[in-house]
Chain A
Amino acid sequence: AQSVAQPEDQVNVAEGNPLTVKCTYSVSGNPYLFWYVQYPNRGLQFLLKYITGDNLVKGSYGFEAEFNKSQTSFHLKKPSALVSDSALYFCAVRDPRWGSSASKIIFGSGTRLSIRP
């Protein structure tokens, strides 16, 4: 079955340090992968996506993610964390075999990122 795993419920990082939020997926074939961020009392905001091409994807707010097919991972990274990066982060996957629509995206359970000053 298709799934997404975010193994860490919470990640704590000091401001200025690099951060990594982990995501692994289980989808047959070549997946479409996404990262979203959710701030308190707000909807999800799109950060970045991987469809095809370069394994390193750059997104909003200085975030990037690396697609690793052999490890079925799509970890989110940022070289230097900001306190304002503190939020809930969701990894999501879509199997392109599900059809040409944007439906049936599967989200992970989320990782709470906490950046301390």
Chain B
Amino acid sequence: QTVVTQEPSLTVSPGGTVTLTCASSTGAVTSGYYPNWFQQKPGQAPRALIYSTIRKHAWTPARFSGSLLGDKAALTLSGVQPEDEADYYCLLYNGGTATFGGGTKLIVL
């Protein structure tokens, strides 16, 4: 069973840049894992941000970008806004099923 690992929490200052990562227990994350990223604020359903590693949804703010960083998938927020404080989850597909990471709590302080 695949285990997907994310940083439990990260802190960033408003206007700063932060990178969240997503690692797989099966080895290096590649585009073939079709990394997806989701944002969830308290009491709300998750909202999709990124799919297929780098692709943005129509509603995804320009300050969010996806990439591969070394052997991990990554989500970078540039010019962080206070409203970006939330939990962020990556999702990786492998062998026909999918696994979420444990989530990263992003604190904007």
| Physical interaction between A and B | no
